[in-house]
Amino acid sequence: MFIPTGEPVVDRYIETGYDTVRGMSSRFAASVCTYILKRQAALGISGHFAEIGTFEGRFFIAMALALEPGEKALGIDLFDWPNDRVMDLFLGHCARHGVAPDRYIALKRDSRTMAPEELAGALGGGPVRFFHIDGEHADESLSRDLALALPLIHPQGLICLDDMLHPAYPRLVETVHRWLAAHPEWCVMLIVDREDIVAAAKYVLCRRDAVSLYEDDLMQRFEKQLFVLGGDFLDHIAVVLTPHPRLAEVD
């Protein structure tokens, strides 16, 4: 599902270019997350976009195109799966879809061996305002990736986790809940529901004191995609956006 952001370059890519780049994030998630980048810019929250698990760049390109002047997109991947051609494909897709070489950095690295200082150095300073974690879906890797991201995040920035509640990784949310228990100032602000088994749900996390910057605005902007019950995390209700919201009919 494509929902225009109102930014022609971004909308053109998501509407007509997205499916020409192989990948796993949904077009719905790209619509919501690029809108969030625009919302952050309107609020004066500036910073970079970073992603672990860039693959051929499907989601990365949408986010890179939605950044403001002076901000950069950083993509980290092993770039060896399914073969060594993936980096060339990624670079070609960026060029074809208008991501200028001076607007992004690609690091062929294992995120588990990296330190936050390396990412900060690659970005040349400044915080990350949106960090997408979509690398290896295993407890240790996700824990390390969260530790890598956290020191770089803008105080009102977001960490987005892919493939939450995916049937192939049913226990990955345990890692998230353990991390949230260790970082009680953070919460899941938004759940972007799946479109398909290969375009699964994302959790978008922020500090609790930043929730009000996003949630009402998201509920208004995506009124037609709002699942009214929200996501019950016991101590708060996350916004839930889903392509076709409805409740079960009981009468």
Q: Which residues are near ligand SAM by CB under 6 A?
A: 23-25, 52-55, 58-59, 76-78, 81, 110-112, 134-136, 141
For residues 98 and 245, which CB has a smaller minimum distance to ligand SAM in the complex? 98
For residues 81 and 251, which CB has a smaller minimum distance to ligand SAM in the complex? 81
Helix, strand or coil for residue 162? strand
* Least distance CB 86 / ligand SAM (angstroms): 7
* Least distance CB 100 / ligand SAM (angstroms): 21
* Least distance CB 54 / ligand SAM (angstroms): 6
Alpha carbon distance 62, 55 (integer Å)? 13
For residues 34 and 54, which CB has a smaller minimum distance to ligand SAM in the complex? 54
For residues 55 and 222, which CB has a smaller minimum distance to ligand SAM in the complex? 55
For residues 76 and 211, which CB has a smaller minimum distance to ligand SAM in the complex? 76
For residues 137 and 221, which CB has a smaller minimum distance to ligand SAM in the complex? 137
Alpha carbon distance 177, 235 (integer Å)? 12
**Which residue from 130, 4, 35 is spatially nearest to 73, judged by alpha carbons?**
130
* Least distance CB 136 / ligand SAM (angstroms): 3
For residues 5 and 156, which CB has a smaller minimum distance to ligand SAM in the complex? 5
Which residue's beta carbon is nearest to the bound ligand SAM?
23
Alpha carbon distance 249, 52 (integer Å)? 40
Sheet containing 128-133, strands listed edge to edge, beginning at the edge strand earlier in sequence: 104-108, 73-77, 48-52, 128-133, 153-164, 201-207, 186-192, 237-241, 231-232
Burial class (CB in 10 A: 0-12, 13-18, 19+), 115: exposed
* Least distance CB 78 / ligand SAM (angstroms): 4
Alpha carbon distance 156, 170 (integer Å)? 29
* Least distance CB 134 / ligand SAM (angstroms): 4
Alpha carbon distance 70, 223 (integer Å)? 32
* Least distance CB 36 / ligand SAM (angstroms): 16
Alpha carbon distance 66, 4 (integer Å)? 12
Helix residue ranges, H only, 44-167: 58-65, 86-96, 116-123, 139-149
Alpha carbon distance 170, 182 (integer Å)? 21
